[in-house]
Amino acid sequence: MAIDKAKVKEIAKLARMKVADKDESELATELNQILDWIEQLDEVDTKNVLPVTSVTSEILSQRDDKVTNLDQKDKVLANSPSDNSDFYVVPKVVE
Amino acid sequence: MTLTSLTISGARDKLQSGEFSSEELIKEHISTVEKCKNLNAFITSTPEIALDLARKSDARRARGETLGGMDGIPIGIKDLFCTEGVLTTAASHILDGFIPPYESTVSGNLRSGGAVMIGKTNMDEFAMGSANITSHYGPVKNPWYLNDGKDRVPGGSSGGSASAVAANLCLGAAASDTGGSIRQPASFCGIVGMKPTYGRCSRWGMVAFSSSLDQAGPLTKTVRDASIMLQSMVSHDPKDSTSSPEVIPNFEAAITGDIRGLKVGIPEEYRISEMSPEIDKLWSKGVELLKSAGAEIVDVSLPHTKYALPTYYIIAPAEASSNLARYDGVRYGLRVDGSDLNDMYEATRGEGFGKEVKRRIMIGTYVLSAGYYDAYYLKAQKVRSLIIQDFNDIFDRVDVLLTPTTPFAAFPIGEKMDDPVQMYINDIFTVPASMAGLPSLSLPGGLSDEGLPLGLQLITKAFDEETLFQCGDILEKQINFSHQAPYIEEIGS
């Protein structure tokens, strides 16, 4: 198994996260170390084992489908890095 | 006796008898926080809010009312609980300036119980770390040190919370545990740390790391204090579908002082090669003490223990990579401009996340990506089934497990940083219970030969926190850990 610099670039792209060129080879080495270590799971026979879907045997509770918090635009936008007339502002998406 | 050296139960009784006011108690803690800034235990101090809450607590008491055991008690809140109107960072650059417009359920419950927040405690960035060295706000120091001039790590990720409690900056701290983030720092700092059953505490308003593992819990000076503080944190919350509707018992009432006939399991797989001989000795001492208190010791086997840690390092990063997708620079926190929308996302996330967080997002993205999902993520979820089955099998025969909390004592800041896998070994004894959602508690077991604290861990079946407190209290009394951090002596905190 080998994660090379090209693979690092590809994963970083999927994660929408800039990785500096100078950090790529170090990251590749570390990811390989971690994945090599994880490979010991291959020893475990899981042929007839079902994957975990819930940690406890609890049935997830549901709440009533009711609107509870209305009209909090000011609160919602209070942390925005850039907004205008109740909208978040982002770089132009549609040409 | 200074007011900062009290326990929660001690302060509760003295507030009730009128020996001092909450305002006096809070003022003394606020000035201690000021005096101990070099520990870097807090990211934000909130003295004005604290004094206001303390005065309200005193006014209640003057009217003959009290909100319970935490009323008027100074606490720290780990900086991943959203606190209304107070900066919440998860120790990450990417949450720069984020002031939540709402309160997390856990911190809100504590506030409704009268607890007085004196500040937000430092932590590893997004709770990813075992040494509190990944914080954007700098590393936290452990109040325990030796005469070699090296600062020790407090453990992580709740390093600021543990350091604050161990150095008498607050009487307790609300923290979170994903793979050991409460118990491992408790062990390194010589205090009590408790992770309840997954679902006991609501995760609403808690910055998410790994949603199937994250669970809030208390860091305190004693087992009894943990039971009092946990009582104030738990609730069934309609806003978190995984929060449990199970009946909540009176945790403190579980401390009966009697464990005769209790069956204590000793899992052989926890005796690993990485463990120092002194930890083995400490563990054996714990076994003897419980036996002399009337417990029955049973050797048990949890065959998949060694696979818990690698399983964790698939599942936790996978869930993290998904949870952390929300940090995109659009709605809150840091934004770094880019040539188009994608470039803005990439620039923001590239600059906003630290090294360890990036590493885990990369691992998580990789194991979830097309072509690798079955080999890694699905495989890990299957191994996790086997780990849970191991616990189910033995909890038919025993009531509680006794293990060490960590394979070694606190190490100097800057060590064990070259190889990420070496750092992950810190959580080798705490991760299995996390994987199975089980409650567990770490308490000080003694000092290493060098003089640093070492913890012992108790684990019970799901929703049996009562046995943890019952057994933990006995073990605590038998061990009678009377040492305190050298820093307290030096600073007079």
**Domains of chain B (ranges, CATH numbers):** 3-256+480-491 (3.90.1300.10)
Distance from the Cα of A65 to chain B's closest Cα (Å) equals 11
Asked if residue B107 has a cis previous peptide bond (ω within 30° of 0), the answer is no
| Catalytic-residue membership of B306 | no
Contact B307/A40, CB-based, under 8 Å? yes
Task: Name the token pair of B314.
Answer: 């698939």
Helix (H) or strand (E) holding B107: helix B105-112
* d(C-alpha A60, C-alpha A63), whole Å: 10
Q: What is the pLDDT of residues B276-293, one digit of tens each?
A: 899 999 999 999 999 999
| Catalytic-residue membership of B273 | no
pLDDT at B180 over 60: yes
* End-to-end CA gap in chain A: 42
Q: What is the pLDDT of residues B96-145, one digit of tens each?
A: 999 999 999 999 999 999 999 999 999 999 999 999 999 999 999 999 99
B28, B151 contact by CB (below 8 A): no
Average pLDDT for B5-30? 98
Query: Which chain B positions have a beta carbon within 8 Å of A18's beta carbon?
Result: 346-347, 349-351
pLDDT band at A62 (very low <50, low <70, confident <90, very high): confident
* d(C-alpha A14, C-alpha A8), whole Å: 10
* d(C-alpha B45, C-alpha B164), whole Å: 12
Give the residue carrying structure tokens 């990251």: A27
Distance from the Cα of A42 to chain B's closest Cα (Å) equals 9
Chains A and B form CB pairs within 8 A to the count of 168
Nearest CB to A79; choose among B99, B340, B384: B99
Give the mean pLDDT of chain B.
96
- Comparing alpha-carbon positions, the chain B residue that sits nearest to A38 is B310
Give the residue carrying structure tokens 């996330």: B349
Query: Which chain B positions have a beta carbon within 8 Å of A49's beta carbon?
Result: 382-383, 385-386
Residue A86's identity, in one-letter code, is D
Q: Which of B126, B174, B178, B134 is nearest to B154 (CA)?
A: B134
| Catalytic-residue membership of B78 | yes
Task: Name the token pair of B219.
Answer: 């860091």
Output the pLDDT for position B365: 98
Contact B388/A55, CB-based, under 8 Å? yes
* d(C-alpha A9, C-alpha A25), whole Å: 10
User: Does ipTM surpass 0.90 in this model?
Assistant: yes
Contact A34/B333, CB-based, under 8 Å? no
Catalytic residue chosen out of the listed positions B22, B45, B57, B78: B78
Contact B353/A at CB under 8 A: yes
Output the pLDDT for position B292: 98
Give the residue carrying structure tokens 């040190």: B145
Nearest CB to A16; choose among B242, B349, B359: B349
* d(C-alpha B166, C-alpha B488), whole Å: 9
Q: What is the pLDDT of residues A37-55, one digit of tens each?
A: 999 999 999 999 999 988 8
